[in-house]
Amino acid sequence: MHWTDYLGPLSQGAWVTVQLTFYSTLLGAVMAFAGGMGKLSRNPLLRGLAVVYVEVFRGTSLLVQLFWLYFALPLAGQAIGLDLRIPPVVAGVAALGLNIGAYGAEVVRGALQSVKPGQAEAARALNFTPRQSLWRIALPQALPEMMPSFGNLAVQNLKDTALVSLISLGDLTFRAEQIRNFTQDSIGVYSLLLLMYFGMALVLTAIMRATERAVGRWRPVRR
């Protein structure tokens, strides 16, 4: 086989990787804001749940989390009489999104805490509720500070999608391994794999930088 013959199967796998990256990054963003704001909540239950979530998913391996969701969770469900089997794509999106969200939660928390205390005092002087102060004052100022770190996490998430090949999900890495096993052409296959991941990472970086520039306009003018 010529190396150009690899492009068809690899492109199919790349599309799966793109979908995994997109959906898990969305889930990760939701969990990052939920976890980050939860850690700053005055409600001890919400704060405790956020701390447990962040510490568990940051303190354990993504690979183990993926295996637990796909292999261990169904067995735990059987033990209590529940069918908790989930498709590989759902397990992949869930593991990737929850893991990246835990790291993103610390980014959100740090950015919110970096907003000057005087902003909160001004909000109270205007009779803003804590929720209004958060959504109208703190978040618009904190979000531009989050974007560079979010961009790095998104690229890391793209690279982490390669792990889903271990649960037989037909992503880019899984397709590449199938081709390599059939052709024994490790140099050609893995070289193409590197180039395709690099290309996707460049595109994702460009998207995140464009988003960062757009959000950066929300920064208050410093005088």
Is 2 a member of any domain? no
Report yes or no: 119 and 51 within 8 Å, Cβ to Cβ: no
Residue 64 has pLDDT above 90, yes or no: yes
Say which residue the tokens 């991941």 belong to.
Answer: 197
Domain that holds residue 99: 19-168
How far is CA 108 from each of CA 33, 45, 124, 190, 212, rounded to the nearest angstrom?
A: 6, 19, 22, 36, 15
> Is residue 86 in a domain?
yes
- On the question of pLDDT at 115 being above 90, the answer is no
Residue 43, domain member (yes or no): yes
Looking at the 3D structure of the chain, how many domains does it have? 1
Question: Is 193 among the domain residues?
Answer: no
184: in domain? no
Three-state SS letters, the chain: CCHHHHHHHHHHHHHHHHHHHHHHHHHHHHHHHHHHHHHCCCCHHHHHHHHHHHHHHHHCCHHHHHHHHHHHHHHHHHHCCCCCCCCHHHHHHHHHHHHHHHHHHHHHHHHHHCCCHHHHHHHHHCCCCHHHHHHHHHHHHHHHHHHHHHHHHHHHHHHHHHHHHHHCCCCHHHHHHHHHHHHCCHHHHHHHHHHHHHHHHHHHHHHHHHHHHHHHCCCCCCC
pLDDT at position 223 is: 44
**Longest alpha-carbon distance in the chain:** 72
Q: Quick check: 25 pLDDT over 90?
A: yes
> What pLDDT is recorded for position 141?
83
Q: Is the dihedral of CA 57, 62, 66, 67 positive or negative?
A: negative
Give me the chain's average pLDDT, please: 89
**What is the value of pTM for the model shown?**
0.89
CATH of the domain at 46: 1.10.3720.10
How high is the pLDDT of residue 83? 87
Residue 126 forms part of a structural domain: yes
Which range, of 134-143, 175-184, 205-214, averages the lowest pLDDT?
134-143
**What pLDDT is recorded for position 113?**
86
Whether residue 27 lies inside any domain: the answer is: yes
pLDDT attached to residue 2: 67
